[in-house]
């Protein structure tokens, strides 16, 4: 464990807590893409298949459970909770995310570390996480003004993977057998997709103005 | 030989 990875995990945890706060405090999920939340639930379920078979550490197991439970509960809330589901921007959240799932599954079948069930789902989860934010970014552009908590949620979600890139650089230089090209390349693509969001987020923070993404 | 990917990251 290094400081970059720990900071990345904490930033990821903060993004989840900010989203839970927004939904429970405002009893609303306006501006949140259900499709991105479903993709993230799939990412965690596909990546943490080894939850019960490989014990790494208490921290690792606890965080995996937190991420799985929180992503599933957010999806459940947005679909089933009587008050929250009413505020879902159904007509704006129209990204065809099934194509993302199919594309990543195909990609994982073609490019993986080893042709085993667990490795293929692991690669699938990394490719899917790289593009999972797309429906959310499209929704932000369509819904015009972005409320603070939603903006902070997306910001922390993007920042966590950027910190993981620093972690991979650190591990590359400090560990002999460190070659995780699938993680690194997926992580770079993922962080790049946040590029323009980060730019407009910084502008809004500098001008102390409302976050506005150009349509 | 290269270790199988250590899945120690989240």
Secondary structure of A94-124 in HEC code, one letter for each residue: CCCHHHHHHHHHHHHHHCCCCCCHHHHHHHH
Residue pointed to by tokens 């409302």: A210
Nearest to A86 by CA among A27, A151, A2, A168: A27
Residue A214 in this model has a pLDDT that exceeds 90:
no
Average pLDDT over residues B1-10: 67
Read off the pLDDT of residues A94-140 as tens digits, 9 standing for 90 and up. Answer: 999 999 999 999 999 999 999 999 999 999 999 999 999 999 999 99
Of B2, B8, B10, the CB nearest to A179: B2
Q: Which residues contact B6 (CB under 8 A, 6 or more apart)?
A: none
pLDDT at B2: 43
Residues in B lying within 8 Å of A, measured between beta carbons: 2-5, 7-10
Asked whether residue A22 is assigned to any structural domain, the reply reads yes
Q: Is residue A213 part of a domain?
A: no
* Inside any domain, residue A215: no
Q: Between residues 78 and 137 of chain A, which touch chain B (CB distance below 8 Å)?
A: 113-114, 119, 122
Residue A214 included in any domain: no
Q: CA of A47: how far to CAs of A40, A95, A120, A126, A143, in Å?
A: 10, 23, 10, 8, 31
Structure token digits, residue A4: 């970059």
Asked whether residue A212 is assigned to any structural domain, the reply reads no
pLDDT 10s digits, A66-76 = 999 999 999 99
Q: Which residues pair with A212 in a beta bridge?
A: A145
Q: How far is residue A46's CA from residue A44's CA, in Å, rounded to a whole number?
A: 5
Share of chain A above pLDDT 90, in %: 93
Q: Is A122 in contact with B7 (Cβ distance < 8 A)?
A: yes
From the CA of B6, how many Å to the nearest CA of chain A?
A: 9
Whether A120 maps to a domain, the answer reads yes
Average per-residue pLDDT in chain A? Answer: 96
- Residue A139 confidence (pLDDT): 96
Share of chain A above pLDDT 70, in %: 100
The whole domain housing A101 covers: 3-88+97-207
Return the pLDDT at A61: 97
> Whole-angstrom Cα distance, residue A108 to residue A119?
9
Question: What is the count of structural domains for chain A?
Answer: 1
- The reply to whether residue A177 touches residue B5, judged by beta carbons under 8 angstroms, is no
Cβ-Cβ contacts under 8 Å, A9 against chain B: 10
Asked if B5 and A113 come within 8 Å (Cβ–Cβ), the reply is yes
């Amino acid at each position: 464990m290094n400081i970059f990875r720990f900071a990345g995990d904490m930033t990821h945890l903060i993004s989840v807590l900010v989203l839970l706060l927004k939904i429970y405090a405002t009893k609303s999920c306006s501006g949140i893409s259900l499709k991105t939340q479903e993709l993230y639930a799939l990412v965690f379920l596909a990546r943490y298949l080894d939850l019960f078979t490989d014990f790494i550490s208490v921290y690792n197991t606890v965080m995996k459970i937190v991420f799985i439970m929180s992503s599933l509960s957010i999806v459940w809330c947005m679909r089933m909770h009587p008050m929250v589901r009413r505020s879902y921007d159904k007509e704006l959240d129209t990204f065809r995310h099934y194509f993302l799932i199919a594309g990543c599954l195909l990609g994982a079948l073609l490019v993986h570390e080893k042709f085993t069930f667990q490795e293929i789902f692991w690669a699938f989860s990394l490719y899917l996480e790289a593009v999972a934010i797309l429906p959310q970014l499209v929704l932000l552009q369509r819904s015009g003004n972005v409320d603070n908590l939603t903006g902070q949620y997306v910001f922390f979600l993007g920042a966590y993977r950027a910190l993981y890139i620093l972690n991979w650089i650190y591990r590359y230089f400090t560990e002999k057998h460190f070659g995780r090209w699938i993680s690194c390349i997926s992580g770079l693509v993922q962080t790049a997709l946040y590029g323009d969001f980060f730019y407009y987020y910084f502008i809004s923070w500098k001008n102390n103005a409302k976050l506005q993404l150009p349509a | 030989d290269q270790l199988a990917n250590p899945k120690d990251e989240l």
